Amino acid sequence: MPIIKPVRGIYPQIPKNCFVADNATIVGEVTMGNHCSIWFNAVVRGDVHFIKMGDKVNVQDGAVIHATYQKSPTTIGNNVSIGHNAIVHGCTIHDDVLIGMGSIIMDDCIVESNSIIAAGAVVTKGTHVESGSIYAGVPAKKVKDISAELISGEINRIANNYVKYSGWFKE
């Protein structure tokens, strides 16, 4: 049974068509859109500031979504995939973004639409990732522009697949 708890009287808002794995944790001021999925051992901790997710957001196994007290909430747009063991902290992620496995996005970052954060990248505090970019490395820097093939073949494919995968657990 997942851990879904209020913090200071504020309950997570989770639509019925979302999937939450048995050992996921969602607490506090968390608002999820439709067709989201929170996978095994993922933590979405809205205890110190709000976390708002759009539609078709998947938070994969072991990922952590958090914020900074009284400073930096976390806002995630539509059609966003957050890879296994990634950390998304106190930042803004626009629509149609792929955040690679094990990457870290720190406070006050903005990741614009149609962007990819490569696996293992560390996007340092306050970085602005321009739309259509791929960022990689430690610290993360722009390595190239994204192609139309990557938008449809990776960003959209992965987000759509996670809606499908979550359906397998609802059967």
Given a contact cutoff of 8 angstroms between Cβ atoms, the answer to whether 24 and 39 are in contact is: yes
Given a contact cutoff of 8 angstroms between Cβ atoms, the answer to whether 139 and 123 are in contact is: yes
**Number of domains making up the chain:** 1
Taking CB atoms within 8 Å and a gap of at least 24, the contacts of 142-151 are: 143/118, 146/114, 146/115, 146/116, 150/116, 151/96, 151/114
CA 168 – CA 147 distance, rounded (Å): 31
Tens-digit pLDDT profile for residues 128-148: 999 999 999 999 999 999 988
pLDDT exceeds cutoff 70 at 171: no
Looking up residue 21, the CATH number of its domain turns out to be: 2.160.10.10
Enter the pTM of the model: 0.96
Tens-digit pLDDT profile for residues 82-127: 999 999 999 999 999 999 999 999 999 999 999 999 999 999 999 9
Specify the pLDDT at position 170.
80
Q: 40 pairs with which residues across the strands?
A: none
Residue 85 CA, distance from chain mean position: 11
Report whether the peptide linkage leading into residue 15 is cis, meaning its omega lies within 30 degrees of zero.
Answer: no
CA 64 – CA 30 distance, rounded (Å): 13
CA 86 – CA 105 distance, rounded (Å): 8
Q: Which residue range is the domain that position 147 belongs to?
A: 3-168
Tens-digit pLDDT profile for residues 41-81: 999 999 999 999 999 999 999 999 999 999 999 999 999 99
Specify the pLDDT at position 25.
98
Amino acid at 128: H
Specify the pLDDT at position 121.
98
Specify the pLDDT at position 152.
85
Higher pLDDT, 93 or 149: 93
Tens-digit pLDDT profile for residues 9-38: 999 999 999 999 999 999 999 999 999 999
